Structure 1
Amino acid sequence: MTGVYSLLPEGRHSLLAPLGGGEDIDGYLAAGGYAPLAAPDRLLDRIAATGLRGRGGAGFPAAVKLRAVRDAPPGPRVVVANGEEGEPGSVKGRWLLRHRPHVVLDGLRLAAAMTGAERGFVYLSDDRAEQAVRQALTESAPEVRIDVVRTQHTYVAGEESAVVRAVDGGPALPTAKPPRPFESGVGGAPTLVANVETLARVAVMYSRPDEADSVAGAHLVTLSGAGPAGAALAEVPAGTHLKVLADLCGHGTATAVVLGGMFGGLYGEGWTDLPLDHDRLKEAGGALGCGALHFLRPEDCPVGVAAEATAYLAAQSARQCGVCVSGTGALAATLAAAARGEAGHDSVDKLRRWSQQLPGRGACGLLDAAARIVGSLLAHFPDRVDAHRRSGCPACEGAAPENGRRFTVPVP
């Protein structure tokens, strides 16, 4: 089932409302949007109390990032709405910017008030999103100066240090850390880089304080899979089981799922019992990431899916870190050989060792994603990997390289 859906309880505000429609400035103002913020610290305390986490992928507490920029030494501060989705299977950022630009801009100007920033940016790569944001800026005239920065769509372009580098006029490529953007970001100023969904939730938490807890716990998720069932964008309450989400978009017979875009890895038996929750997914060896879920049909081969994912990540490497270039290349080449039934007798040992040794060694999360894909494949599908090594697989034999197209989802 393709489309846009809200699974929130009746009466709760959804970021996807009006479902599939646009956002009217008069309606947004009438609903309490762009209201003056008289007590920024009180809103920041509310955000901390709800436990709101960033929606860009890492799930870092939003209040901690806000306070880090606010409490930096005296001087200019900057806030950035990050609308660049590196994961090809995620569409929530582009949808929000296209259809609800005011709620994102409202969240950005609230973030500026909480941090003391006098300058803001919206960072994106989508044509329709850019048009909507520029139109919204002419309608709203926020208190803080906000500019739009256009970038190229790549896997690493949305990483926070790449965002800073691009806003400063450089290439959208990650840099070594420290310093982090909250220490030294755009123009050397402490900078908050926040995902657009995070900022939208901040805006709703301010205009609807009675719903703050439910707003902080809900998630926008992109649901996809191969075959005719298609893809969907949904807003769901915290703790929603993955089986419910698979049923929603017509993938109820799935036998496995790729979690969190490509960052969360592959999960096989037992995936239907997993809830949409950062901590529970981490305990299970996965990750929620950006909230993109790709379901595998019974006829889909997990080895072939993992091979396509690692090949895509290897091609998307920024090619700045030698360990990333060699690591993703080795993972992709060895897994591709395994999918063809051509891997050597020691290939499984190599893949297992690399998946354990490579995480944390690159400047961004791309290498970690590739390692997690491989490590989770070995953990959940060891028999399938071994069968490929010994005799190949009919589903994988002769399959043409897809270059990540399996995971690419159009914006509904």
Structure 2
Amino acid sequence: MTATLDPVATGGLLAAGAPDLAGHRRRHGPLGPLRPDVLRTELRRSGLTGRGGAGFPLWRKLDALAARPGGVVVANAAEGEPASAKDRTLLHAAPHLVLDGLQIAAAAARATSAVVYVTAEAVDLVRAAGAARFHDDPVPVRVVDAPDGFLSGEETAAVNAIDGRPGLPGDKARRVVEVGVGGRPTAVANIETLAHAALVGRYGADAFRAAGTPDEPGTMLVTATVEGRQLVREVPLGVPLPVALGADVTGPVLVGGFHGAWLAGPEAAGARLSRAGLAPYGATPGAGVLIALAPGACGLAETAHIVGYLSGASARQCGPCRNGLPVMAATLHRLAAGERDASLPGEVRRLGALVTGRGACHHPDGTARLAASALRVFADDVEAHLSGHCRAGGGRRPGGARERDDGAPSEAPTSIGGTP
């Protein structure tokens, strides 16, 4: 699916960016003196948190790295989430804002090298942008091609790929801030986070905090999919979910992407795009993915399709991924297909509890969260499927998830019930 930029809902990052260095510097001028202590203070005051999904405060990562001078800062543009397009949109609209943010983060952390870890489609764009400013940037930047995969952007997977190993999650016993790229202390930050840092470094924390809420300041990029149409929008944190989605909410909405959670229509209509606003529903903004269930689509079947994809996308390095997720996917598929076995919903819940907190990374947790939210939001559909009919299909027999003959998902779903 090709995402388009919503011209009505752009501001902040996207309005501040320019695709070429000359245009970027006409708007912002060259980077001024980069004083580590001042930068870390402003980033702390700003309240800027990660925009890649975890929401970890950027200043904490940089403070930890600054205590170990000579480290590495990684700009993470892997964007393994199939339903997200905000990072590649940002790179095309404002590559130099991202590279400014990388230099600011490196200075704040007293790092001596930097890496842009980016999908193959944007490697040439980033290399060209880096070459245009090669003689001006104080910290050298290396561009590394990120492998295609749902988990390729996970912090330790990024470090592994940059070091030439398979881009899969690694050992959590050693934190990357202690042993990361090339064995050196490392901080990994999403490129949207770094673009925000570029504006904080130039214009200060107060300018950043002018948008959003006091507890969750700033704007964020969202990838909103409605009836198969994907738009990248920039909105302040704390706005009503329909505003972030850019459409009236008429049914369930998947919030936070494939590791997110479903909200029922009335919940989504009244919720706000913030951690506090989504917490009552077991959801977070994540990386800003919002997907409205298309009219006529079966949320249960769509969830089974996503869980099947997530099972196949796992690293298969731990018991929950090797064993738990495939069984969970198969069980959800049986339920979506209309198998009249009343034990199936309970088995999905049991498997979710079994894998949560026991994986080598958080992939099992996110998958279990999605499945649990589907059982809650689509409870009436579950009962209908157990009775042999599908409410979304006008009473017809359930068709189940879209899978190949071998049970694997046919493709990564990017729009739920819409046109891929």
Please state how far the C-alpha of 1:380 moved relative to its aligned partner: 1.9
SS at structure 1 position matched to 2:209: helix
Unaligned 5+ segments in structure 2 are: 212-216, 404-409
Kindly tell me: are residues 276 and 169 of structure 1, through their superposed partners in 2, closer, same or farther at Cα, counting changes over 3 Å? Answer: same
The structure 2 residue matched to 1:60, chosen from 56, 65, 70, is 56
SS at structure 2 position matched to 1:233: strand
The structure 1 residue matched to 2:380, chosen from 373, 379, 383, is 383
The structure 1 residue matched to 2:323, chosen from 326, 329, 347, is 326
> Is 1:240–2:253 an aligned residue pair?
no
Q: Per-residue displacement from partner, 1:307-330 (whole Å, max 9, x unpaired)?
A: 111011011011111221211111
Please state how far the C-alpha of 1:95 moved relative to its aligned partner: 1.4
**2:272 match:** 275
Unaligned 5+ segments in structure 1 are: none
Kindly tell me: are residues 343 and 406 of structure 1, through their superposed partners in 2, closer, same or farther at Cα, counting changes over 3 Å? Answer: farther
Please state how far the C-alpha of 1:173 moved relative to its aligned partner: 0.3
The structure 1 residue matched to 2:181, chosen from 168, 183, 186, is 186
Distance 1:398 1:322 in 2: 26
Distance 2:340 2:185 in 1: 48
- Amino acid in the other structure paired with 1:154: G
Distance 1:358 1:226 in 2: 33
The structure 2 residue matched to 1:14, chosen from 12, 31, 34, is 12
**1:231 match:** 230
SS at structure 2 position matched to 1:31: helix
Distance 1:399 1:63 in 2: 43
Distance 1:218 1:185 in 2: 30
Correspondence 1:49-128 to 2 at 5 A? 49-72=45-68, 76-127=70-121
Kindly tell me: are residues 120 and 399 of structure 1, through their superposed partners in 2, closer, same or farther at Cα, counting changes over 3 Å? Answer: closer
**1:220 match:** 221
Please state how far the C-alpha of 1:343 moved relative to its aligned partner: 5.2
Cα contact 2:20–2:129 (8 A) shared by 1: no
Distance 2:223 2:54 in 1: 17
Please state how far the C-alpha of 1:18 moved relative to its aligned partner: 7.1
Distance 2:31 2:305 in 1: 47
Please state how far the C-alpha of 1:39 moved relative to its aligned partner: 2.3
The structure 1 residue matched to 2:411, chosen from 403, 409, 412, is 403
Please state how far the C-alpha of 1:286 moved relative to its aligned partner: 0.9
Cα contact 2:73–2:115 (8 A) shared by 1: yes
SS at structure 2 position matched to 1:378: helix
> Is 1:205–2:203 an aligned residue pair?
no
**1:301 match:** 298
Please state how far the C-alpha of 1:196 moved relative to its aligned partner: 0.2
**2:165 match:** 170
Identity across matched positions, percent: 37
Please state how far the C-alpha of 1:295 moved relative to its aligned partner: 0.5
> Is 1:264–2:260 an aligned residue pair?
yes
Moved runs in structure 1, 4+ residues, more than 4 A?
Answer: 6-9
Please state how far the C-alpha of 1:99 moved relative to its aligned partner: 2.6
Cα contact 2:6–2:231 (8 A) shared by 1: yes
Please state how far the C-alpha of 1:115 moved relative to its aligned partner: 0.7
Cα contact 2:71–2:185 (8 A) shared by 1: yes
The structure 2 residue matched to 1:369, chosen from 366, 371, 380, is 366
Distance 2:22 2:159 in 1: 33
SS at structure 1 position matched to 2:176: coil
More deviation, 90-99/302-311: 90-99
Distance 1:271 1:231 in 2: 18
- Amino acid in the other structure paired with 2:138: E
Please state how far the C-alpha of 1:280 moved relative to its aligned partner: 2.1
Please state how far the C-alpha of 1:358 moved relative to its aligned partner: 1.9
TM-score, normalising length from structure 1?
A: 0.90
**1:149 match:** 144
Kindly tell me: are residues 343 and 225 of structure 1, through their superposed partners in 2, closer, same or farther at Cα, counting changes over 3 Å? Answer: farther
Please state how far the C-alpha of 1:33 moved relative to its aligned partner: 4.6
Kindly tell me: are residues 306 and 266 of structure 1, through their superposed partners in 2, closer, same or farther at Cα, counting changes over 3 Å? Answer: same
Q: Per-residue displacement from partner, 1:143-187 (whole Å, max 9, x unpaired)?
A: 111011002210000000000011111010001312121121111
- Amino acid in the other structure paired with 1:372: R
Cα contact 1:33–1:207 (8 A) shared by 2: no
Q: Per-residue displacement from partner, 1:69-128 (whole Å, max 9, x unpaired)?
A: 1113xx53001000001110111111122231111111001111011111111001132x
> Is 1:4–2:5 an aligned residue pair?
yes
Q: Per-residue displacement from partner, 1:305-360 (whole Å, max 9, x unpaired)?
A: 11111011011011111221211111110000001111522111111122233222
> Is 1:160–2:162 an aligned residue pair?
no
> Is 1:335–2:337 an aligned residue pair?
no
Distance 1:398 1:359 in 2: 25
SS at structure 2 position matched to 1:16: helix
> Is 1:28–2:27 an aligned residue pair?
no
Distance 1:49 1:167 in 2: 32
Please state how far the C-alpha of 1:381 moved relative to its aligned partner: 2.0
Distance 2:197 2:96 in 1: 12
- Amino acid in the other structure paired with 2:412: G
SS at structure 2 position matched to 1:235: strand
> Is 1:360–2:357 an aligned residue pair?
yes
Please state how far the C-alpha of 1:8 moved relative to its aligned partner: 6.4
- Amino acid in the other structure paired with 2:131: T
Kindly tell me: are residues 108 and 34 of structure 1, through their superposed partners in 2, closer, same or farther at Cα, counting changes over 3 Å? Answer: farther
Cα contact 2:160–2:168 (8 A) shared by 1: yes
Cα contact 1:33–1:103 (8 A) shared by 2: no
Please state how far the C-alpha of 1:284 moved relative to its aligned partner: 2.4
Cα contact 2:336–2:401 (8 A) shared by 1: no
Cα contact 1:33–1:106 (8 A) shared by 2: no
Equivalent pairs, count:
395
Cα contact 1:94–1:126 (8 A) shared by 2: no
Cα contact 1:78–1:192 (8 A) shared by 2: yes
More deviation, 210-219/155-164: 210-219
